[in-house]
């Protein structure tokens, strides 16, 4: 049974999660923008002092905006037959009201995952997702990252890797915001070495309210 309650409204939010959906002209170049509220749901790995994740760990609640350009060019595309296809877009944005994430390296990229149902073993089903995340690599000093993930109920909702122009509350299972601090590892195939990075800090927030504002 789902514990999350959805309401579709421009002005009223009901229950643990509310999503506002409006009409949108897919031919328009205007950005798709959503406002959100989130509550801290856990600190699995206490982040190092001075990191953005450590700052996030002191906040019980957080709010902000996220979105993407509706006509963002496809930066990369790949497909594993019968399993999953994803679209990678080079335009995305995430702003927090109480934190400055401008010091987080890397631009916000949007990845749309069109998952696949595994009929032989449903536990291996890849669900549909939309992820906004910073991208940068550091193998020497700790690096911060921010990820906002919209997880759909199953692998039959998106039916493609195009950027969604609206969020259907009946299709969304969970929306989360994650702050992490890490050192990346690099592999060397010639020497038979695999990447062995370290996750130094992790803070989770669960989004409780989403409202379409543009």
| Closest listed residue to residue 142, CA positions, set 97, 188, 179, 194 | 179
- Series of mean pLDDT values for 10-residue runs along the chain (214 residues): 31 38 45 95 96 96 94 82 86 93 92 88 87 92 96 90 86 95 75 68 96 88
Residue 194: its pLDDT value, please? 56
Q: pTM score, two decimals?
A: 0.82
For 184, which DSSP code? -
Determine the pLDDT at residue 92.
92
Give the pLDDT of residue 24. 35
Position 214 scores a pLDDT of 81
| Alpha helix positions (H), 111-159 | none
């Amino acid at each position: 049974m789902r514990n999350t309650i959805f309401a579709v409204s421009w002005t009223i939010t009901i229950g643990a999660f509310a999503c506002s959906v409006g009409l949108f002209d897919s031919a328009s170049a205007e950005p798709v923008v959503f406002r959100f509220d989130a509550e801290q749901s856990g600190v699995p790995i206490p982040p190092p002092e001075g990191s953005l994740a450590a700052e996030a760990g002191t906040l019980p609640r957080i709010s902000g905006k996220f979105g993407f350009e509706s006509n963002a060019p496809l930066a990369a595309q790949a497909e594993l037959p019968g399993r999953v296809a994803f679209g990678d877009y080079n335009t995305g944005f995430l702003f927090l009201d109480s934190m400055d994430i401008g010091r987080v390296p890397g631009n916000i990229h949007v990845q749309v995952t069109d998952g696949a149902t595994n009929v032989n073993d449903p536990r291996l089903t890849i669900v549909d997702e939309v992820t906004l995340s910073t991208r940068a690599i550091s193998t020497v000093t700790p690096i911060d990252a921010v990820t906002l993930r919209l997880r759909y109920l199953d692998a039959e909702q998106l039916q493609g890797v195009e950027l969604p122009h609206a969020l259907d509350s009946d299709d969304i299972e969970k929306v989360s915001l994650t702050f992490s601090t890490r050192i990346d590892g690099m592999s060397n195939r010639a020497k038979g070495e695999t990447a062995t990075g370290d996750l130094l800090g992790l803070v989770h927030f669960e989004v409780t309210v989403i409202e379409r504002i543009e």
